[in-house]
Amino acid sequence: MNKILLLILLVLMILVAGKRGIKLFISICMNFLVLLITFYFIALGISPIIVSLIGCLIISYIVLYFVNGKNIKTESSLKSIVIVLAILSVLIFSITHMSRIAGFGYESFEEINMFSYDIKLDFTNITISLILIGLIGATIDSSIAISSALYEIYENNKHLTKKELFLSGITIGKDILLTTTNTLLFAFLAEFMTLLIWFKQGSYTIGEIFNAKSFCSEFIKIMFSAIGCIIVIPVTALITSDRLKNNKKNIS
């Protein structure tokens, strides 16, 4: 069944995007491989945060450069993503330690009771790693959308000033942000549905739900993804507008 679904995905990508669809499919496979390698190194005991940051950068490089090529749009997006990851890494580290969401909640005890707890891994760092990996996809999506739109705007009107380009990027970002946050919300609800049913069957109060480690963990993850999408908009708009105005020879 999995092979059939992969084949359907490949065929649809080729039909819609042509040769580029093949690149898209290969990039998905490459990103999956990067994630497997990332998880393997974490299991070996290497710092989850460092490994995850490197993995996120490699994934960003594959998505941007392998599929779209090296140009002003992708270079601006990659720089923006690096800046956002640097900012959020500090914020994620602080909030994860303060909120104490690492590890398993009470709701997971029955599932993990048969396993050994002596795995010699810092679950706080594991949680930070999961948050970083979770936010990278939406951040890349928002960043490349802004840089591509600004590039097309500038190509059609090269008399625009850097400030006008930046403000155009912010305007575009507002429209993107609405759909992106809704997508993140629906993904959160879909993933969280079984736990919500658990809370209902267990007659949890609203206060107990909001204080449950399982809920807080997932909620903080989705919030950081949304924050990443918000921060990357002005950063990408600023970097892209600066690159467009300061480069005499644009790379298409």
pLDDT one-digit tens code per residue, 232-249: 999 999 999 998 888 754
Residue with tokens 């900012």: 87
What single letter denotes the amino acid at residue 44? L
Query: According to CATH, what is the number of the domain 48-246?
Result: 1.20.1640
Query: Higher confidence at residue 155 or residue 116?
Result: 155
Q: pLDDT digit string (tens) for 51-110?
A: 989 999 999 999 888 877 888 889 999 999 999 999 888 888 887 777 666 555 555 555
Q: pLDDT digit string (tens) for 200-222?
A: 776 777 777 777 777 777 778 88
What DSSP character marks residue 115?
S
Separation CA 139–CA 186 (nearest Å): 17
Separation CA 76–CA 120 (nearest Å): 39
Q: Which token pair is 19?
A: 């040769």
- Beta-carbon contacts of 250 under 8 Å, excluding residues fewer than 6 positions away, are 71, 72, 151, 155, 244
| Whether the Cβ atoms of residue 169 and residue 233 lie closer than 8 Å to each other | yes
- Beta-carbon contacts of 239 under 8 Å, excluding residues fewer than 6 positions away, are 76, 79, 80, 147
Mean pLDDT in the chain?
80
Q: Record the pTM.
A: 0.79
What DSSP character marks residue 70?
S
What DSSP character marks residue 90?
H
Beta strands in the chain (DSSP E): none
The domains of the chain are located at 48-246
Confidence check: pLDDT of 14 > 70: yes
| Whether the Cβ atoms of residue 193 and residue 205 lie closer than 8 Å to each other | no
pLDDT band at 37 (very low <50, low <70, confident <90, very high): very high
Confidence check: pLDDT of 6 > 70: yes
Question: What is the mean pLDDT of the segment spanning 36-61?
Answer: 88
